[in-house]
Amino acid sequence: MSMTGLPSYDDGNVFARILRNEIPSKRVHEDEWAIAFHDISPQAPVHILVIPRGPYISLADFSARASDAEIAGFWRAVGAVAREHGLEAKGYRALTNIGSDGGQEVPHFHVHLFGGRPLGRMVPPAVG
């Protein structure tokens, strides 16, 4: 456990490996604070993941531990990537999953950017 009560960051997660260029990705943006790349299994015509360079598990971890400069730099990158991909004209969705109820699979904080079609309901109805 870390000081925040969250689990420790796993340096072997797939996005950590993408950051270290140990596995390939289709990068569309990189700057001092963040990188962005296409999701391997796109759920919309545009589906890009934006991740901070620092070792944060989720938004919970990032908002608790990251510096003001990292937080500002990261969110500016999210907006820049959306702009660079022409998503502002018709709108888009930015989404981050946190933990098990959130459906988070990769334990490195990431924001999904979805666009290129109407995206429908914000949260699917409960099952069962």
Q: Which residues are catalytic?
A: 110
Least Å distance between CB 35 and ligand 5GP?
A: 11
> Which spans of this chain sit near ligand 5GP (rule: CB under 6 A)?
14, 25, 37-41, 97, 103-106
Q: Tell me the H-state helices in the chain.
A: 14-19, 59-65, 68-84, 99-102
Closer Cβ to ligand 5GP, 7 or 67, answer by number: 7
Number of CB atoms found within 10 A of residue 97's CB = 17
CB 60 within 8 A of CB 107: no
Q: Distance between CA atoms of 39 and 47, rounded to whole angstroms?
A: 6
Smaller CB distance to ligand 5GP: residue 21 or 41? 41
44 vs 64 by CB, closer to ligand 5GP: 44
Task: Name the minimum Å distance from CB 102 to ligand 5GP.
Answer: 8
Q: Which residues pair with 48 in a beta bridge?
A: 38, 113
CB of 13 to ligand 5GP, least distance (A): 9
Smaller CB distance to ligand 5GP: residue 12 or 103?
103
One-letter amino acid for residue 50 of the chain: V
Tally the C-alpha atoms within 13 A of residue 19's C-alpha that lie toward its C-beta: 22
Least CB distance to ligand 5GP at residue 58 (A): 9
